[in-house]
Structure 1
C-alpha cells in the first residue's frame, strides 16, 4: 500500500529537487567548452557488403559506399560560417566538415541482364556534403546540406564493374537498367548526447543517445537510436563515423590520452518517408521500383582505436528489410581511417 501525507510529499519534493539539480548540472556542463583542436582531420571510409565479419553477401542491395572527407580544427571558420553555426545550434565549439561520397545499390540477382520485378533497382548516388558541427562537453550537433546526382552520372557502373575487372571477377550484368539521372538536394540535422555511466579500474562505459534526420529528393527519414561503449578515453569523440543513414559520430575527435580504445554496440530505428533508390526518380513514373518498408531497424557493433593523431574504426551493421520481398538482416561492414594534419 502506498504512502500518503507529509512523508510522501517530502519524498516527492526531495526527488524533484534531485532531478532539478541533475538537470542544472547537465545544462551547466553543456555550456563548458570541450578541448580545443587546431588540426584538420582527413578521413577515408569504405562500406561494403563484402567487408564483413560475417560471410559477405557479394553485391546485394547497399553494396558499396565510399567517402573522402575533411573536418576543420575548432573555431577557425570564416565569420559568416561561424555566425550561421551559432544561429543554428547556439554556443559551442565549432567545426566545418566537407566531403564527397558515392553509394552503389544493386538487386540481389546481379547475373541477369534484365533485373527481376520486385528486386531492388540498380542505382548510383554521388554527393558533395557540407556539415556544420557544434560541440559542448556532452553534446554534438550537426546540420548540413548534400547535393549531387542519382543515376549514371554518379559512376556506379564504372566503379563497380571496373573493380570487378581489376580483380578478374564477373561483372554485374543489369546496369543498363539503372535508375535515370536526377539532381539530388538534401538537408540533414542531428544531435548526439554523451552520457557517462561508470568507471572502474581505469575502464569506463558511456551511452550515446542520438536523434537525426534528412529531407530531400534522395531520402526523407527520421531516426532515433543509441550506442553503448566501453573502453578508455571515451571523451575523445562521440562514436565512430557512418555514411548515413545510421548512428554517426562524425569524423571529429581529439584524443584525451596517448592511446584510446573502445568497443561498442548500438541500435537505431528509422521512419522512412521516401527513398529514391527504392521508389524511383522523383520526377518520373514507370521506372524500376519496389515497395519500401517505412520502418527500418539497424543493429551494429565494432571497435575503434586512436593513437598518435590517427583513428581507425570498424563497424558491423545488420539491417532489417528496407522493401517488400527483400532478405532480412542484410549485413555490411564499414572501415574508416582518419588522420590529423
Structure 2
C-alpha cells in the first residue's frame, strides 16, 4: 500500500500517473460520503496562487421566444488557495477535514417568463414573470479527488431585481418586441439561501500521450455530484453525474452553472499547454418548495403547481488555453410545473474565465 502523509501534496506533473491509485481511493470516498476529519489520508492538488474572474451567460436563445428560464448572467471572482478568512478556514477544516481552500463571490441575475410574453395579463396557468438578483459567497475546498462547496446567497426577488428593465431594455436595443406581462410579476421579497455541494472525481481510463506533443494523456472520468439547497427561494435535493473525455481533466471539476443544476464551480488550475474535454451529464432534483413557481407566500398573486421531480440532461465542451477557460453547454430540462406545455425545455450556457 502507498504510504503518504495525512495531507500530501502532489505536483501537477505527477497526477496523471496516479489514475489507478486515485480511482480506488475515489470509490471509498464516494462510499463514505463527507469523511470526518482525520479518518482518511488526503491527497491534495497543487497550490494555486492565481485569482480567477468569470463571466457567464445562460439564455434560451435556441428557442423562438423568451420562455421559462429566459436569461441568466453572472460575474464572479474566485480567490487563490489559502486566501481565506481564518474563522471560515477553521470551520471548513473542522467540517470537511484537509483540503485546499478558496473563497468565491459572484453577482447573478436570473429572469423567468411565461411562454406567451405578448399577452397582458399573462396566462394564469403559465409560469409567472419573476427575476432574482443574488450575491453568492462560498467556500470551495478541494482534494485531488473531491470538491466541496459550502455557500450562502442573499438578494432580492421581484421588481427590484431589475428583470423587466434588463429584458425589455435589451429588446429595445435589438429591435425586438417588449414582453407585455411584467406588471404581474412576483412581488418584492428578500432572498436568503444556503447550499452544500460535493463532487467526486473518479478516473476511469488514461491513455499514453505522444511525447513529441508534450500534452497530458487522453483520459476518461466521471464526476458524481450531490447538492442540498435550503432557502426562501427554493428547497431541493439534487444528485447527478458527468462523464468527461479529454486532456487535462485534473485541472477542474467540470463546467460551472448558475444554480440550480450540476455546478463544477469556477475554480480551475492553470495548464501549461492546452487542456480540453467534452462532457455529458444528467441530474435530478427532488423539489420541496419553489417560490418562483408557487408565487407569493403570504399574498395572492400568480402561481402554478410545481413538479416534485425535475430532470436535466447536458452536453458541452470545455477548454483551457494559456490560463483562460471557456465552456459551452446545452441543457435539456423536463417540466418544472404541471401545466407546462411542449416537450423538453432547453437553454445554452457560455462562460469565459481568466486568471491574474
Asked if structure 2 preserves the Cα contact closer than 8 Å seen for 1:95 and 1:132, the reply is yes
Q: Does 1:188 align with 2:202?
A: no
Report Cα offsets for 1:153-190 as digits up to 9, x if no partner: 00000000000001111000000000000000000001
Within 5 Å, give how 1:26-105 maps onto structure 2.
31-50=42-61, 55-105=62-112
Report the CA distance between 1:311 and its aligned residue: 0.2
Distance 1:271 1:216 in 2: 15
Aligned to 2:287: 272
Give the TM-score taking structure 1 as reference length.
0.90
Q: Deviations over 1:10-46 (max 9, x none)?
A: xxxxxxxxxxx94599569960111110011000000
Q: Tell me, yes or no, if structure 1 residue 251 matches structure 2 residue 258.
A: no
Q: Distance in 1 between matches of 2:41 and 2:171?
A: 49
Q: Name structure 2 gaps, 5 residues minimum.
A: 1-22, 30-38, 209-216
Q: Deviations over 1:87-120 (max 9, x none)?
A: 2322110000011000000000000111012100
The reply to whether residue 139 of structure 1 matches residue 152 of structure 2 is no
Is the 2:26–2:145 Cα contact (8 Å) retained in structure 1? no
Q: Do structure 1's residue 304 and structure 2's residue 322 form an aligned pair?
A: no
Q: Which residue of 1 aligns with 2:327?
A: 313
Shift in CA distance, 29/328, structure 1 to aligned 2, threshold 3 Å: farther
- Match in the other structure for 1:17: none
Q: CA deviation at 1:286?
A: 1.9
Q: Is 1:285 aligned to residue 299 of structure 2?
A: yes
Provide the residue aligned with 1:263 in structure 2.
Answer: 278
How far apart are the structure 1 equivalents of 2:335 and 2:324?
35
When the two chains are superposed, the root-mean-square deviation of aligned CA atoms in Å is 1.7
- Mapping 1:97-136, distance limit 5 Å: 97-136=104-143
TM-score with structure 2 length normalisation? 0.86
Which of these two proteins has the greater Rg computed from alpha carbons? Answer: 1
* Aligned counterparts of 1:231 and 1:29: Cα–Cα separation in 2: 29
Tell me what 2:155 maps to. Answer: 148
Alignment of 1:222-261 (within 5 A): 222-261=237-276
Partner of 1:8: none
Cα distance in 2 for residues equivalent to 1:228 and 1:178 = 38
User: Is the 1:260–1:307 contact (alpha carbons within 8 Å) kept by the matching residues of 2?
Assistant: yes
Cα distance change, pair 166–30 in 1 and its aligned pair in 2 (3 A): farther
State the distance in 2 between where 1:318 and 1:143 align. 26
Asked if structure 1 preserves the Cα contact closer than 8 Å seen for 2:26 and 2:200, the reply is no
The 5-angstrom pairing of residues 319-334 of structure 1 reads: 319-326=333-340, 327-334=342-349
| Inter-partner Cα distance in structure 2 for 1:257 and 1:227 | 25
Q: How far apart, CA to CA, are the structure 1 residues paired with 2:239 and 2:347?
A: 20
> For 1:199 and 1:224, how far apart are their aligned partners in 2?
26
- Give the aligned length: 316
C-alpha displacement at 1:328, in angstroms?
Answer: 2.6
The verdict on how the C-alpha distance between 1:24 and 1:187 changes in structure 2, with shifts beyond 3 A counting, is: closer
In structure 1, distance between residues paired with 2:248 and 2:350? 20
Distance (Å, rounded) in 1 between the aligned partners of 2:26 and 2:306: 43
